Amino acid sequence: MKKKIVVTGGSGRFGNCLKSVKTKHSIFFPQKKIFNILKLNTLKKYLEKTKADTVIHLAGLSRPMSIHEKDIKKSIELNIIGTANVTKVCSELGVKLIYFSTNYVYPGIKGNYSESDHLHPVNNYAWSKLGGECSVQLYKNSLIVRVCMTEKPFLHKEAFANVKSSFMYHEEVAKILFKILDKKGIINVGGKPEYIYDFARKDNKSVRKAFLKKNANIGMPFNSSLNTRKLKKIIK
C-alpha cells in the first residue's frame, strides 16, 4: 500500500541517503522552518496539509557526542522534548510514528543485545535518545528502531580494535527501513557483531588502529553489538 511519509531531519546524513532510495511511497522532507519539532503548531499544520499517514523521526542532536555533555539543555530540547512533541501530534492525528534510536541505550558490556534486554545508557547522548523512546512508547502506533549505522566509507582516521559494535552503512539501513514500515514495537537494526576497526577497514584501508582504555572517561561502551534475530525473521 502506497504511503505518504514525512521525514524529520531530512537534511541530515541519513535523511539525505533516504532521498536517493527508489520507492513507491510519497515522501516529504520539510525544512525546519515549516516543520519544527519544537513548535507543535508547525507539526500539526504540515501533517494535516500533506495528509501524511507516517512520520519517520530522524531530527535531533547527535554529533559530536561531547555536545550532550557540554550542552544538556540543547540535548534535552531536541532529543527528548522534540521527540515528545512529534509523538504528541502523531497520536492526535493517528499518524504512524517511526523513531530512530540507538544501540547505545544498552549497557554495552556483554553485547548481542536483544530488544527485551535491560537498558542502561553509558553517555548523555544515549540517555537523551532513551528519553525520546519513553514518549514514543506511550503511543502504540509506533516503531522504535534501535540502530547502529554510519557513513560509507568509514569517515574517521582511527577505529577501536577492542570495541565491538554492529555497524551497518546508511544505504543498507535505508533499504531495510522500507521493509519494516508496517511493524510496531521495537526492532534492532544493524550488521554483524565485530570490532569497529575490522568493520572500518573493509572500505577504508587507511584507518588506523586505536584502543579504548578500560578507565577511559569518554562514555564509550566496549560491546554494544546487537542481536538482530527479530529483524532477520521479518525481512527473510
45 with 63: CB under 8 angstroms? no
Q: Please, which residues have CB within 8 angstroms of residue 160's CB and are 6 or more apart in sequence?
A: 195, 196, 197, 210, 211, 212, 220
CATH of the domain at 60: 3.40.50.720
What pLDDT, in 10s, does the model give residues 9-26?
999 999 999 999 999 999
Average pLDDT, the chain: 95
3-state secondary structure of 224: coil
Residues 26-47 pLDDT 10s: 999 999 999 999 999 999 999 9
Residue 134 has pLDDT above 80, yes or no: yes
Structural domain range at position 56: 4-235
Q: Into how many domains does the chain fold?
A: 1
Per residue in 150-183, pLDDT (tens digit) is 999 999 999 999 999 999 999 999 999 999 999 9
The CA radius of gyration of the chain, in Å to the nearest whole number, is 17
Q: What is residue 102's predicted lDDT score, i.e. its pLDDT?
A: 97
Q: What's the rounded Cα separation, in Å, for the pair 180 and 119?
A: 23
Compute the average pLDDT of residues 95-102: 98
Looking at residue 214, its pLDDT comes to 80
* pLDDT above 90: residue 64: no
